Amino acid sequence: MKVRNKTINYNIYTKINNKANRILDTTEVTLPSIENGSDSIKGTGILGEIDLPNLYQPGSMTTIISFRGINESAAEMLVTDNLEIRWITDRFDTNGLKNGIDHHKAFLTVKLKKFDEGKVGSGESSDGSYEYEVLAYKRIMNGEELLHIDKLNSIFSVRGKNLLEDMNKYL
């Protein structure tokens, strides 16, 4: 059994004109939360009410990147449409009693929603943030695609299988 523990380190990159630029001075990233819309149904054959999720119809997805202080990277973060997040987590193999790592990547197509420069105070960090609407999200772990959601191209893929494929052929 493999027990995952915590993030060892991470980096964030913007992609502008097919060039990856590493962003410095960030403190954490909140990855998108995937929540399907839903409708409540009730009636004959249903005891009470069921809040039934809409099939593969995620609501608004956002990602937030927090930073210590404003720097030269800020201009790129304000105009980028593409983010790449790379991170390493540790794991412990209980069978072989060995430590190891998992490597992760997330590719996001985004639009800036909010830029908060933070505060200015003597001896304090700015603690600002960027908040983005996520239009497409691809999540990879150890080289395997786990999840791919692309709202503009009707893709909702889990482990390489587009769950919308059967529906898309009728549209």
Q: Alpha helices, DSSP H only, in 10-157?
A: 73-79
Q: Which pLDDT score, from 0 to 100, does residue 120 have?
A: 87
Q: How far apart are CA 13 and CA 26, in angstroms?
A: 11
Residue 127 pLDDT exceeds 90: no
Q: Which domains does the chain have, with CATH numbers?
A: 2-34+54-141 (2.30.110)
Strand partners, 98: 93
pTM: predicted TM-score of the whole model, two decimal places:
0.88
d(CA 127, CA 120): 9
User: Tens digit of pLDDT for each residue in 41-92?
Assistant: 888 888 889 988 888 889 999 999 999 887 777 778 888 999 999 999 999 8
pLDDT of residue 156: 93
pLDDT more than 70, % of the chain = 100
Residue 130 CB partners (closer than 8 Å, separation 6+): 64, 65, 67, 77, 78, 112, 114, 115, 116
Confidence of residue 121 (pLDDT cuts 50, 70, 90): confident
